[in-house]
Amino acid sequence: MILPIYTYGTRVLKAKAKPVKKVDAEVIKLIVDMFDTMHAASGIGLAANQVGKLQRVIVIDISDVENDKDAPVRDGIPVFKSHPPIALINPEVAASERAWSIEEGCLSIPGVRDVVERGEKITVRYKDTNFRDVELEADGLLARVILHEIDHLDGVLFLDHLAPEKRKEHKVELKKIQKGEIDVDYPVVTATAARVTSD
């Protein structure tokens, strides 16, 4: 099922998600719905906060990125290497190295992009869908998407990594997003709509 994505200004995006204690039918359904939602929005990563659920769950699918002829190359190796779709439950970064900067965007902040510095190579520990412990070494785009999505679970947006003057450059766009003045081809919950619903 395709879920609406919560956009900039909604409270859930600034809240910290709670650890998942066990994998049950509800968690599996959330993961399946998150993959459906992410694909419908042509995204490559999604955190549970973005669909209004405060659970430490993220999904990622960068399986098609190698087809991007404009992808950056570092030391002769494409940064956008493919990886099968993956769901991470209760992910934690155990190590991060080699900072690098690249432009990011976010389904919750449509139309806004900016350069963010993150670790290029990370080690992440998480539970898989069988609730087994997994340790994964990731680099390039996969590492970046994991870090971006874990930030969401902690109520952190990519904008929070920008210097104040850089954030000011997006002020007009962000106000429009908060008001719901956006043109996207996926369902959303805007800050204005969320306030009306909660009143």
- Answer yes or no: is 53 within a domain: yes
Per-residue pLDDT, averaged over 40-48, amounts to: 96
- Amino acid sitting at position 7: T
- Answer yes or no: is 52 within a domain: yes
Residue bearing tokens 């994505």: 5
- Answer yes or no: is 138 within a domain: no
CA separation for the pair 197, 68 (Å, rounded): 40
Task: Collect all residues with Cβ–Cβ distance below 8 Å to 143 and sequence separation of at least 6.
Answer: 96, 118, 119, 120, 121, 122
In this predicted structure, the answer to whether residue 19 has a pLDDT above a threshold of 80 is yes
- Answer yes or no: is 132 within a domain: no
Exposed / middle / buried, residue 86 (Cβ in 10 Å: 0-12, 13-18, 19+): buried
Confidence (pLDDT) at 100: 87
Beta bridge partners of 96: 122
Domain span holding position 113:
5-72+80-90+101-118+144-198
- Answer yes or no: is 48 within a domain: yes
- Answer yes or no: is 134 within a domain: no
In this predicted structure, the answer to whether residue 71 has a pLDDT above a threshold of 60 is no
Confidence (pLDDT) at 177: 96
Confidence (pLDDT) at 198: 47
- Answer yes or no: is 45 within a domain: yes
Confidence (pLDDT) at 69: 52
Confidence (pLDDT) at 192: 86
Active-site annotation, residues: 149
Tens of pLDDT, residue by residue over 104-161, are 999 999 999 999 999 999 999 999 999 999 999 999 889 999 999 999 999 999 999 9
Strands 133-139 and 114-127: antiparallel
Which range among 19-23, 94-98, 174-178, 191-195 shows the weakest confidence by mean pLDDT? 191-195
Confidence (pLDDT) at 199: 40
The pTM (predicted TM-score) of the whole model is 0.90
Counting the structural domains of the chain, the total is: 1
CATH number of the domain enclosing 55:
3.90.45.10
Task: Collect all residues with Cβ–Cβ distance below 8 Å to 18 and sequence separation of at least 6.
Answer: 54, 55, 56
- Answer yes or no: is 136 within a domain: no
